[in-house]
Structure formats: C-alpha cells, structure tokens
Amino acid sequence: MHLMKIGIPLFAVSYSSSFADTLPRLYIMNFREVRDLGLFSSIIVILGLGLVLPNAISSYRYPKMSYEYGLTGDKYKF
C-alpha cells in the first residue's frame, strides 16, 4: 500500500507530462497541414540534440570532478 501511495502520483505526473508533450503535435495535425507537423518534428529533434551535448559533457566531467574533490577536498581545483 505504501508503494502505491508513492507510485501512483509518480505515474500520473509522468503520464501527464508525456501527454502534454503530444498536445502541440495534435494541434498542428488537426488545424494545420501535414507539412507543418514535419517542420515541427525536425525542430524538436534539433532541440533534443541541443540537450544531448551538455548531458554528455556533464556525464564525463562529473565523475572526474568528484574523484578530484575526494582526493584533495578542494572544490575549486578542477
């Protein structure tokens, strides 16, 4: 029961977030042309690629910075 109290709100937030992401596509599909949906989708891909680079850099740098901080205790060294 405890897991249900935690899991159901998490699922609801995740599901509503996914649903909210589809609303612009549904609007374009119903009130605009198919060409506009294609242009919108390519822009979403480009924005997604813009998020990949910072995540990749932080995935590489964070462990190195944590290791250095653990060795020296100086948070400004790295």
State the DSSP string of 6-68. HHHHHHHHHHHHHHHHHHHHHHHHHHS-HHHHHHHHHHHHHHHHHHHHHHHHHHHHHHHHHHH
Q: What's the pLDDT score for residue 78?
A: 65
The CA-to-CA distance between both ends of the chain, in Å, stands at 46
pLDDT digit string (tens) for the chain, length 78 residues: 888 888 899 899 988 888 888 888 888 878 888 788 788 878 888 888 888 888 888 899 989 888 988 888 887 776
Q: Using CA atoms, how far apart are residues 26 and 37, in angstroms rounded to an integer? A: 9
Give the per-residue pLDDT at 44. Answer: 82
- Pull the structure tokens for residue 39: 């242009």
Please tell me the predicted confidence (pLDDT) of residue 8. 92
